[in-house]
Homo-oligomer: A and B are copies of this chain.
Amino acid sequence: MPANARTLTLNLFLNHAGHHEAAWRHPSTQPDALFTPDYYVRLARRAEAAKLDAVFFADGPVLHGGVEHNAVGGLEPLLTLATIAAHTERIGLIATASTTYYEPYNLARLFATLDHLSGGRAGWNVVTTSSAAAGANFGLDAHPDPEVRYARAEEFLEATTRLWDSWEADAVLVDRAAGRYADPSRIHPAAFAGEHLSVAGPFNAARTPQGRPVLVQAGASNTGREFAARWAEAIFTAHQRIEDAQAFYADIKSRALDLGRDPEQVKILPGISPFLGSTEAEARALEEELNELSVPAYGLQQLSGQAGVDLSGLDLDAPVPLEIFAGAGDVTDNARSRFQVVAGIVQRERPTLRRLLHRLAGARGHRVVAGTPEQVADTIEDWFVAGAADGFNVMPPALPAGLDAFVDHVVPILQARGLFRTEYVGTTLRDHLGLDVPENRYTAARAADGAGRPALAQA
């Protein structure tokens, strides 16, 4: 394809035994391997062989309910990605981490180290954590409101980006003869004091290959979108319909432009969970096979949590009462936005409760498609061409088979159509995504005014 053609982004979203809630029950999966490194390394190497942009892990500092009937809990993503980094060469490595429940100095070090260890492949999916149970794992009486969480997130990003800029690219001298390891005038204190957090000192690591990790976000509420438009370089979204995805896409690109950013430096990546078969009927049969393995008590528990009411007494084979989703228009955070997606399904499709549970079992509100490789490639191309997506977060319903099917059968079609790379053209995640390396603020300021800025030596 031409070097300047718009290129699709494809990430592999790794989730336990797969994204379908019953994946662990399917004979093709490996639920006994979920705490072993080889399981993740093999999946990542498969994705790398197919030239995917990145592997991605969700995360939260809490045990999600439903462990009795689903393979929840798991390994910490940053360390798992360091393991994957050691066994791969090119593929990007995106970890979710919470601004609400981490300290900026610690998290900045973890991501900087991952970027160093991987030669510039780190990405950070910035979340404020929507699980209400998390607060109690950190000594808080209550999980903070979304507005408070986003206010802290703003300060967190300001603090961490200052830390990542702390050492300018030329700070490390290694001048053995003069006995000068580093130039202190090129190492800057963070000097950030906010309402929610403060960081005084300079960072304790050299500037990383990418300057900083690629910043990813999943903002859906108004506050979340504003935050994403300001900070995010890639945005994960959940949309069922192309028109909703187009509206979101246009809104984010417009917000980014209003903030003085290049809209092409913000990639919009909806989730897609593909069931693949040599015929559409075969794909649908696979989807149905997984759905039938769902444990209704699990799905009801998840949906009750989203709806805020106990649904366990309802008839599985009667239509879902519309009033349960009456308040869904009010999207205050990402959990609410996922609830809104569910409400849309209920209002459009008027399903029975069992049918709704099956609809959600696939990818918790993300888009599930079932079809032939050509059909899945078509919908990917349609969304990409129609301005609904710059690429996708691919969520295989069951692992490793769902990944194998996607990379063996869908990726070659996308490559043949000139939509997806056949070789990596660069070495970093920024290279893959077509994202600029951010300028170091201190280097830029000195270049702008031709004079020094206060640095460690003067601090």
Contact = CB atoms under 8 A, between A and B. Distances in A.
Interface of A: 22, 24-25, 27, 31-32, 35-37, 41, 60-64, 67-76, 78-80, 82-83, 85-87, 101-103, 105-106, 109-110, 112-114, 116-117, 133, 136-139, 167, 174, 176, 179-184, 187, 190, 197-206, 293, 295, 456
Contacts of A64: 204
Nearest to A70: B181
B139 A197 contact: yes
Given A37-B116, A78-B110, 6 more contacts: A68-B180, A86-B86, A136-B198, A136-B200, A137-B199, A179-B295
Nearest to A174: B31
A96 B295 CA distance: 43
B113 A80 contact: yes
| Assembly stoichiometry (copies) | 2
Given A102-B106, A139-B198, A176 B82 contact: no
Given A83-B85, A109-B76, A181-B71, A35 B116 contact: yes
A96 to B, nearest CB: 13
A187 B67 contact: yes
B174 A204 contact: no
A205 B73 contact: yes
> Which residue of A36, A82, A176, A456 has the most chain B CB atoms within 10 A of its CB atom?
A82
Contacts of A138: 103, 105, 199
Task: Name the residue in A70, A71, A75, A180 with the highest tally of chain B Cβ atoms < 10 Å from its Cβ.
Answer: A75
Given A101-B103, A181-B24, A86 B37 contact: yes
A79 B110 contact: yes
Closest 9 CB pairs of A and B: A136-B200, A86-B86, A82-B82, A76-B113, A63-B204, A139-B198, A73-B204, A179-B295, A76-B109
Contacts of A78: 79, 110
Contacts of A106: 61, 101-102, 106
A27 B76 CA distance: 39
Nearest to A68: B184
Nearest to A135: B200
Nearest to A84: B86
A139 B167 CA distance: 21
A187 B72 CA distance: 12
A51 to B, nearest CB: 22
A179 B69 contact: yes
A143 to B, nearest CB: 11
A75 B293 CA distance: 45
A201 B133 contact: yes
A105 B70 CA distance: 22
A165 B128 CA distance: 28
Contact of A63 (B61, B117, B201, B295): B201
A171 to B, nearest CB: 8
A68 B182 contact: yes
A200 to B, nearest CB: 3
A205 B24 contact: no
Contacts of A62: 201, 204
A82 B77 CA distance: 12
A79 B82 contact: yes
A174 to B, nearest CB: 5
Given A85-B83, A101-B106, A205 B31 contact: no
11 contacts: A62-B201, A71-B181, A73-B205, A74-B204, A76-B113, A78-B79, A82-B83, A103-B103, A103-B138, A133-B200, A137-B200
Contacts of A197: 139
